[in-house]
């Protein structure tokens, strides 16, 4: 967790029944584009570089349901506000701010999350919304009974963000029955800023909304793939650093930094997907400040650049090419290290090894080569 920024938790509220959406199970557990709605929703936060923990509030009868990766389960109450309060209690005292989000909004973008967090740097609360542009009618018995001025009206969305101690106190003081957390915050005297929402940040409510959400996903997803390749020769040393892990060996790898050929290659793959050059352009070897630098610094720079450009890292595949040392015993530790560095789940990180059948410089045990592929997504 970076001490120079606000620590952030997300509470995903998914304890409702959602009967208007149809189906035998609640809408958040129903399939959407090959996964469950709740999987898409949670991934928007677990993959966001600024979010440190995700709490999923679920009904008691989903005790045995498979959780999305990277979330903590909390059981909800008999109303939305009680469910949110249970989620807030689970993170009490551990984070600066909280993002409270509807589990049935699977298409929230990193840009909307960023806008809420940016506003919270100086505001008591922040929430995305869209101005009402359609004419508004009042109806009685199926007939138009009048019109309503739409000036100053907004369609509320989530995530709704607050400083954790203040929204927790507001929930404790509220009598219940609020439509959302902005209502609870305002009842406690907190001011809530409006940030720009997005049409695609829709809430699935009716059966037709599933098809509409899939249409958004098909039309708006920007997928990028980048490749990297790097080589480092052996020299003196007692270990090599590969994918952030020290591996004992009779020789070390030579390079201007710590010569971690795995992290260098993955870093280049991310830069390639972003069309942002290579590691040498961002960290020139002629610059003495990078001499001996730990290579995770380079990878974190590429990771943060991807986030700044609106992309999330979806998958990384790394292949180390060498006769020695043996990679297999260390592959899981390397995957776990990369998972933490990239803020993605373990099942989205692949580290494997192969030999060159004793051919070429790797076959002669003169060094280690690596190739990597990074997949990035926006939308």
Closest Cα partner for 113 from 51, 181, 184, 190?
51
Q: Are residues 341 and 353 in the same domain?
A: yes
C-alpha–C-alpha distance, residues 302 and 291, integer Å: 19
Structural domain ending residue among the three candidates 182, 201, 220: 220
pLDDT at residue 4, as a whole number: 66
Q: For the residues 203-212, what does the mean pLDDT come to?
A: 94
Residue 18 in this model has a pLDDT that exceeds 80: no
Average confidence score pLDDT of the chain: 93
Closest Cα partner for 297 from 281, 313, 279, 314?
279
Q: Is residue 249 part of a domain?
A: yes
Structural domain ending residue among the three candidates 167, 199, 220: 220
Q: Is residue 272 part of a domain?
A: yes
> Count H helices, E strands: the chain?
11, 19
Q: Are residues 69 and 214 in the same domain?
A: yes
Within 8 A by CB and 6+ apart from 344, the residues are 47, 312, 313, 314, 315, 316
Q: Are residues 148 and 242 in the same domain?
A: no
Residue 2 in this model has a pLDDT that exceeds 50: no
Q: Is residue 14 part of a domain?
A: yes
Q: Are residues 189 and 249 in the same domain?
A: no
Q: Are residues 317 and 283 in the same domain?
A: yes
Q: Are residues 271 and 199 in the same domain?
A: no
Q: How confident is the model at residue 111 (pLDDT cuts 50, 70, 90)?
A: very high
Which of 15-19, 155-159, 188-192 is the least confident region?
15-19
> Which pTM was predicted?
0.63
Q: For the residues 200-221, what does the mean pLDDT come to?
A: 88
One-character DSSP codes across 61-110: GGTTSPPPTT-EEEE--SSHHHHHHHHHHHHTTT-SEEEEEETT-TT--H
CB atoms within 10 A of CB 196: 12
Which of 56-65, 76-85, 352-361, 362-371 is the least confident region?
56-65
Q: Is residue 39 part of a domain?
A: yes
Q: Are residues 287 and 343 in the same domain?
A: yes
- Number of domains forming the structure of the chain: 2
Which of 14-18, 126-130, 197-201, 222-226 is the least confident region?
14-18
pLDDT at residue 1, as a whole number: 44
pLDDT at residue 163, as a whole number: 98
Q: Is residue 368 part of a domain?
A: yes
Residue 52 in this model has a pLDDT that exceeds 60: yes
In percent, the amount of the chain with pLDDT more than 70 equals 97
Which is more confidently placed, 194 or 216? 194
C-alpha–C-alpha distance, residues 300 and 166, integer Å: 32
Q: Are residues 23 and 169 in the same domain?
A: yes
Which of 15-29, 125-139, 347-361 is the least confident region?
15-29
Q: For the residues 200-226, what does the mean pLDDT come to?
A: 89
Closest Cα partner for 135 from 144, 143, 127?
144
In this structure, what CATH number is given to the domain that contains residue 30? Answer: 3.90.550.10
Residue 3 in this model has a pLDDT that exceeds 60: no
Domain that holds residue 87: 8-220
């Amino acid at each position: 967790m970076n001490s120079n920024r606000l620590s952030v938790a997300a509470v995903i509220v998914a304890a409702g029944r959602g009967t208007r959406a149809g189906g035998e199970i609640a809408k958040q557990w129903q399939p959407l584009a090959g996964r469950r709605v709740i999987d898409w929703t949670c991934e928007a936060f677990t993959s966001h570089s600024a979010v440190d923990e995700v709490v999923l509030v679920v009904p008691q009868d989903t005790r045995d349901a498979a959780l999305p990766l990277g979330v903590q389960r909390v059981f909800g109450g008999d109303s939305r506000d009680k469910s949110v309060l249970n989620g807030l209690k689970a993170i009490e005292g551990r984070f600066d701010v909280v993002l409270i989000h509807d589990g049935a909004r699977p298409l929230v973008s990193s840009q909307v999350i960023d806008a809420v967090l940016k506003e919270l740097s100086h505001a008591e609360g922040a929430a995305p919304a869209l101005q009402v542009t359609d004419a508004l009618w009042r109806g009685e018995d199926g007939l138009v009974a009048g019109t309503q001025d739409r000036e100053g009206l907004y369609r509320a969305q989530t995530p709704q963000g607050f400083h954790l101690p203040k929204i927790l106190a507001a929930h404790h003081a509220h009598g219940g029955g609020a439509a959302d957390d902005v209502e609870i915050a305002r009842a406690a005297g907190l001011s809530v800023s409006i940030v720009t929402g997005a049409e695609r940040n829709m809430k699935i409510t009716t059966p037709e909304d599933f098809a509409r959400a899939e249409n958004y996903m098909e039309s708006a997803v920007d997928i990028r793939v980048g490749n990297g390749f790097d080589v480092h020769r052996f020299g003196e040393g007692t270990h090599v650093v590969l994918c952030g892990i020290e591996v004992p060996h009779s020789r070390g790898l030579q390079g201007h930094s710590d010569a971690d050929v795995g992290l260098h290659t993955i870093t280049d793959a991310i830069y390639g997907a972003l069309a942002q050059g290579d590691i040498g352009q961002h960290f020139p070897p002629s610059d003495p400040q990078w001499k001996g630098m730990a290579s995770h610094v380079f990878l974190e720079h590429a990771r943060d650049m991807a986030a700044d450009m609106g992309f999330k890292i979806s998958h990384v595949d790394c292949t180390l090419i060498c006769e020695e040392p043996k990679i297999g015993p260390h592959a899981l530790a390397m995957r776990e290290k990369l998972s933490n560095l990239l803020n993605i789940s373990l099942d989205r990180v692949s580290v494997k090894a192969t030999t060159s059948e004793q051919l070429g410089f790797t076959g002669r045990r003169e060094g280690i080569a690596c190739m990597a592929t990074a997949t990035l997504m926006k939308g």
